[in-house]
Homo-oligomer: A and B are copies of this chain.
């Protein structure tokens, strides 16, 4: 593993545990096994580090979601696949996703606009999937936007409590979330 990767890994862990503003440069350096001065040999500003983490995580989510959307004709299957992918990502990389979901406000200006645009692009895929399901008569929701927000909050919340060392396996988790998603979206049983 390169030093740069070690820095990013430390940043992900600390940002997730203490928050962006709660993490100091010296904390990052110590966690990465470097001096605070050396740290700057491998990164730009602290904010650059945060943007990089968010960009990587969101890009992966978008890529996976677009692949599902483009290869799953059945509207119900598409939604379930999106839920399973999202939950798997949030359970498998809880720290990365928690940072993406929780530290957006630490960004300002263009950086923030860029990351928000990525997030909006990802959520649009979900919005379309729900709308398609409703139009096909397979889902029944009062308001697609509200359903999208509720569904995404439910699935993203996994990163706030799931532990891979706990009794619940990743497979079980995704299956249960798929079932709950279909239920809350009024899918035919």
Interface residues of A (CB under 8 A from B): 17-22, 102, 105-106, 141-143, 146-147, 149-154, 156-158, 160-161, 168, 172-173, 175-177, 179-181, 183-186
Contact = CB atoms under 8 A, between A and B. Distances in A.
> How many copies of the chain does the oligomer comprise?
2
A146 B168 contact: yes
B21 A176 contact: no
Contact of A160 (B17, B153, B154, B177): B153
Contacts of A168: 143, 146
Given A18-B105, A19-B106, A105-B22, A149 B161 contact: yes
Given A184-B180, A184-B181, A153 B149 contact: no
Contact of A177 (B150, B157, B176): B150
A183 B184 CA distance: 4
